[in-house]
Amino acid sequence: MAPTSTSQTPFGRVLTAMVTPFTADGGLDLDGAQRLATHLVDSGNDGLVLNGTTGESPTTSDAEKAQLVRAVVEAVGDRAHIVAGVGTNDTHHSVELARQAEAAGAHGLLVVTPYYSKPPQEGLYRHSVTIADATELPVMLYDIPGRSGVALATETLVRLGEHPRIVANKDAKGDLGAASWAIARSGLAWYSGDDILNLPLLSVGAVGVVSVVGHLVAAELRALLDAYQAGDVAKATAIHQGLLPVFSGMFRTQGVILTKAALTLQGHPAGPLRLPLVSATPEEIAQLREDLAAGGVHL
């Protein structure tokens, strides 16, 4: 049973897009995943997104994706919203993954805009609706044109918001003007998908975050949201500014690389990466230590 939701925050407020821990030989580390998920929830996350880009989903098999969802639901599913990434650039395959995630116990689905194919808006609409129609789970869209090659237009988001199970959007578009209009018109619960824009997106109507740095600073992100919600914008701004070195430092190279490096330095399960991603270099790790220390995180 998923934790209680509201229409305003259907998946909670602070979610982390969790890395997928691997063993030293590159296999799926289910025990490590359970331990990491428990740590993240204990640290202040009220939701976890599995099998997303940060979870190295392009390199995990369908079977591994299902095993990961089952393991994490078993570990923390009574305390956190477990959202499974199921979007691909193949609608039929995405439907299969959605049904698999539902059977594995996920509480919701993350559906990224189809990448590489560059479909028109009608194709984006039909893709998302077809996946939403395939299960009884609530859906969070994921608009990230920098990776997908196409953006969800405001009119498309408005149309998708009419579907009873499409309830939220993870926004990594980097366009506050577009977000403002889409939030006002679509009725979708809005989640920041770009850590450095967490506070600006709150100012135009976002309700929460799907974070990468939440692996390290979930409590600070929650404090930022609490302060903003309480009307203490000065405190929220101070927290935001204090975290700027973390927001920037974690993305000096591909985010999964430095997230796994940071978790390993902290003694948490992470393991190696699967190609085409590669481990952080000693120079990158040294810079990461400096960046995180400047943001109050000491490894």
Please tell me whether residue 208 adopts helix, strand or coil conformation: strand
Partnered with residue 191 across adjacent β-strands are 170, 208
115 is catalytic: no
- Listed residue (243, 270, 248) closest to 257, CA to CA: 270
Distance CA 263, CA 54 (A): 13
Count of residues making up the chain:
299
Given the residues 142, 173, 191, 228, the one annotated as active site? 142
Given the residues 65, 170, 173, 260, the one annotated as active site? 170
54 marked as part of a ligand binding site: yes
Q: DSSP state, 113?
A: P
Distance CA 247, CA 152 (A): 25
* CA of residue 77 relative to chain centroid, distance: 16
142 is catalytic: yes
Distance CA 181, CA 165 (A): 21
Contact 84, 69 (CB under 8 A): yes
Per-residue buried b or exposed e for 197-235, using 16+ beta carbons within 10 Å of the residue's own CB = bbbebbebebbbbbbbbbbbbbebbbbbbebbeeeeeee
Distance CA 299, CA 283 (A): 15
210 marked as part of a ligand binding site: yes
Tell me which residues are annotated as active site.
142, 170
Residue numbers in the known binding site are: 54, 210
Residue numbers in the known binding site for pyruvate are: 54, 210
